[in-house]
Structure 1
Amino acid sequence: MTLNEQLNEDMKQAMKSQDKFKLSVIRMVRSAIKNIEIDQRKTLDDNEVLDILNREIKQRRDALQEFQKAGRDDLAEAAQAEIAVIAKYLPQQLTEEEIQAIVRQTIQETGASSKAEMGKVMSALMPKVKGRADGKLVNKIVQQELQ
């Protein structure tokens, strides 16, 4: 079952169970997907849908940080709940140790030895962890390994 099909099925289940919050989050995600499908005039595959899901989570994480800074706990809780709903559709996230192992392997493959070569490492690394790790965390680990 593709991610699009899974989102449709879960939306139907949310309607049947009258889970308005989950329904609204899934509709927002499906709307983002549909807008891109219309712009590109094609049906998106799972990798493209994963990119959209990651973007949606990133937007909510950024909003969560802003809500917490502003002391808006009510909005922060809502953003956290939205992240939890969307995260169900992402593949299993890598642990920090797994990311470090992949980073070390990629550094060896690229032959990088300094921070100046970080771009080369990141461009080789990101396809390996796409959708399974937060980009900020990967960037931080690469910086640590290249010091």
Structure 2
Amino acid sequence: MTILEKLDNEIKTALKAREEARLATVRLIKSQVKNKEIELIHPLSEAEFLAVLSTMVKQRRESIDQFSKAGRTDLVVKEEIELKVIESFLPQQLTDAEVDAFIAQAVAESKAAGPKDMGPVMKLLKDKTAGRVDGRVLSDKVKAKLAVI
């Protein structure tokens, strides 16, 4: 079953259940996927699909921060609902212990000697943790780990 077929099935399910917020969000996801397919001129791979979803999650989190600062609780609630729906398509997020284990392994593999070696470590980690951990959290943890070395 392709990604678009899965999204179509989710749209049908949301229509039957009359879940307006879920329906709108799944349609938005489908739209973003179609746009990315047009841009790349080929159907999305699983990794590319996860990248689209990760971008959407990041946008929602930034919007929630901005709306919270502006005191727009109505829009915060809407964005949080969309965020939950989008995250339901992502794989299970890694725990802090799992992230720390991946970081230790990547530091050992890349033979990192300090903060200047953050690039190679992050490259290894991005491949291993794609879609399962927020990039900002990962970056902060790697900085902290490399600062101690």
Q: What TM-score results when the alignment is normalised by the length of structure 1?
A: 0.95
Tell me the residue number matched to 1:119. 119
| Matched position secondary structure for 1:146 | helix
What residue ranges of structure 1 are gaps of 5+ in the alignment? none
Amino acid at match of 2:91: P
Tell me the residue number matched to 2:68. 68
The alignment covers a number of residue pairs equal to 147
Describe the superposition over 1:86-143 as per-residue Cα deviations: whole angstroms up to 9, x where unpaired: 1111000001111011101110111102101111111111101110000000001101
Tell me the residue number matched to 1:9. 9
What residue ranges of structure 2 are gaps of 5+ in the alignment? none
Amino acid at match of 1:99: V
Tell me the residue number matched to 1:141. 141
Equivalent residues in 2 for 1:1-147, closer than 5 Å: 1-147=1-147
Describe the superposition over 1:69-93 as per-residue Cα deviations: whole angstroms up to 9, x where unpaired: 1111111111111000011110000
Q: CA deviation at 1:39?
A: 2.2
Q: CA deviation at 1:15?
A: 1.2
% identity of equivalent residues: 37
Measure the CA separation in 1 of the matches of 2:118 and 2:98.
Answer: 19
Amino acid at match of 1:66: Q
Describe the superposition over 1:5-37 as per-residue Cα deviations: whole angstroms up to 9, x where unpaired: 221111011112221111110111100111111
1:53·1:86 contact (CA, 8 Å) conserved in 2? yes
1:4·1:49 contact (CA, 8 Å) conserved in 2? no
Alignment RMSD (CA, Å): 1.1
Please, which moves more after superposition, 41-50 or 129-138?
41-50
1:2·1:46 contact (CA, 8 Å) conserved in 2? no
